[in-house]
Amino acid sequence: MTMANRKLIVGYLYPDIMSGYGDRGNVATIVRRCGWRGITAEVWELRLGDPVVADEVDLLMLGHGGEFHQRLIAADLADVKAPGICEAVAQGAALLAVGAGYELLGRFYQPSKGVELPGAGLFDAWTIQHGDDLATASYSIGEARAGRAIGDLLVRWGDELLVGFENHSAKTYLGPTAQALGEVILGQGNNGDGGEGVRLGCAVGTYLRGPCLPRNPVLADFLIRGALLRRYRDCELKALPDELEHAAHDTAVNRLRESAGGISPARRRIPSKRYMRQRHRVYS
C-alpha cells in the first residue's frame, strides 16, 4: 500500500476552549507533515459532549487553557471522553497533551482552592496547584511570577533535544507506573525533580509550549509514526527537508546557551553548536 492512500484521523479535543497558546500550530504541523508525505490527516473537532470513539481516531491532541477553561472541560473529559481516550491509547493511538491539557489527563488536578477536578486517568500522574488561583489572586505580577515556572524549557528525550517554553504554577507528580518523557536540562518541567512530561506508549503529556511540534519536528514525526503504526501496522516515514525547523530549534537552544552565560553549570549542560549541526545531518 502506498502512502498516498493513507489517511489518519486527528481528534482535536476542545479546539474552541483549549487552544490558548498557539496550540493550533501543533495541529497544523501534524497536518502539513502528513500532507508533504502524501498522507491525508483529517482533523475532527471534538467539543464538549462529543465522545471519543477509540477505533476511529489515530492521534488525539489537547492544548492549553487557563484554570477557567480547565474547570469548563474537566467533567466532560473525565466522563464523556476519558473511556475512548484511554481505549485508543491502549490500542496504540498517539496523543499529545500540552500544559493544562496534560494536567487533566492524570488522575486528578487539585486547585489551590475548592474541590479537586477529576482527571481522565490516562496517565498515572496528578497535579497540585501550590500557589493561589491566578484568576482570584490579589497579588502583584511580581509575586505571581515568583511562584511560577516561567521561561525556557530544554529537555533531553533519548538522543534528542526538545526545546520549548513553560508557564505554569501547578506541579505534576508521576506515580510508580508512569514514565517521564524526558530529563530537564534547563527549566523546571513537571515539579523540579528533573523529569519533564510523561509518556505512555505513543501518548505524550508535556509542559513544552511554543508550540512544541513546529520547533521539534522529531516529536511531531514520533506522533505520526505512532498513528500510522496503529492504523496500518507500518510506520515507514519519508524524511522531509527540515532546514527551517532545525534552524528555529537551534536558534532557541543557542539563545539559551547565550543567556545561561559564561561557564555556569547550566551552560555546560547545553549541547554545543557543533554537536547539534552533526545531529541534524544524521537525522535529515
Partner 1 sequence: MAPLGSGPGGGAEGSAIARGRCVARPAAAGRRALAVTVGKAARGTIRRLGRGSGSALPGRAALAVDARLLAALAAEISRGAVLVTGTNGKGTTCRMLAGMMRASGLRPLLNREGSNQPAGLASTLLAHATASGRLPADGQAIGVFEVDEGSLGEILEQVKPVAAVFTNIFRGQMDRYLELDYLVRRLERGLLGLPADATLVLNADDPRLAYLGAELTNPRVWYGLDDLGHRRSGVDHTSDFPRCPRCAGELRYGSVFYAHLGHWECGGCGLARPAPQVRAVQADVTGPGSSRLAVAAPGTEAVLEVPLPGLYNVYNALAAAAAATACQLPSGALTAVDQVTGGCLRMEQVSVDGRDVYLALAKNCSGFTEVLRAVLGDGQPGHLMLGLNDRARQQEPDISWIWDVDFESLRGLVPSAVLSGNRASDLAVRLKYARWSGRGGQTDVAVEPDPVRAFRLAMSRAPEGQPVWVVSTDLVLGELREWLRRRGHVGKIWAR
Q: Which of 57, 53, 63, 22 is nearest to 43 (CA)?
A: 57
At 223, the amino acid letter reads L
Torsion over CA: 81, 83, 84, 87 (sign):
positive
Contact yes or no for 74/117 (Cβ under 8 A): yes
Q: Is 38 in the site for partner 1 (CB under 8 A)?
A: no
**Residue 86: CB minimum distance to partner 1, A:** 26
Which range in 79-87, 227-235, 245-253, 267-275 contacts partner 1 by CB under 8 A? Answer: 245-253
**Of 169 and 172, CB closest to partner 1:** 169
76: helix, strand or coil: helix
- Which grid cell sits at 201? 506508549
Smallest gap, in angstroms, from Cβ of residue 164 to partner 1?
Answer: 9
Judged by CB under 8 A, which of 12, 165, 207, 222 binds partner 1?
165
Q: Which of residues 177-236 bind partner 1 (CB under 8 A)?
A: 209-211, 214-215
**Number of chain positions touching partner 1 (CB under 8 A):** 49
For residues 105 and 98, give the distance between their C-alpha atoms in angstroms, rounded to a whole number: 10
Among 5, 179, 251, 284, contact with partner 1 (rule: CB under 8 A): 251
Asked if 269 is part of the footprint of partner 1 (rule: CB under 8 A), the reply reads no
Angstrom distance (rounded) from CA 242 to CA 140: 42
Tell me if 75 contacts partner 1 by CB under 8 A: no
Query: What residues from 4 to 33 belong to the interface with partner 1 (CB under 8 A)?
Result: 16-17, 19-25, 28-29, 32
What binding mask, one character per residue, do residues 106-135 give for partner 1 by CB under 8 A, x or -?
----------------------------xx
- The three cell numbers of residue 43 are 482533523
What is the Cα–Cα distance from 214 to 70, expressed in whole angstroms? 25
Cα angle: 178, vertex 179, 182; to 5 degrees:
145
Nearer Cβ to partner 1 (142/176) = 142
Are 152 and 252 in contact by the 8 Å Cβ rule? The answer is yes
Residue from the set 151, 199, 229, 237 that interacts with partner 1 by CB under 8 A: 151
Helix (H, G, I), strand (E, B) or coil at 50: coil
Name which of 93 and 170 has its Cβ closer to partner 1: 170
What contacts 107, CB < 8 A, 6 or more positions away?
Answer: 119, 121, 123, 124, 125, 126, 175
Of the candidates 66, 83, 92, 271, which one interacts with partner 1 according to CB under 8 A? 66
C-alpha cell at position 185 = 536540562
The contact set with partner 1 (CB under 8 A) reads: 16-17, 19-25, 28-29, 32, 36, 48, 66-69, 71-72, 134-138, 141, 144-145, 148, 150-152, 165, 167, 209-211, 214-215, 244-245, 247-248, 250-252, 255, 258-259
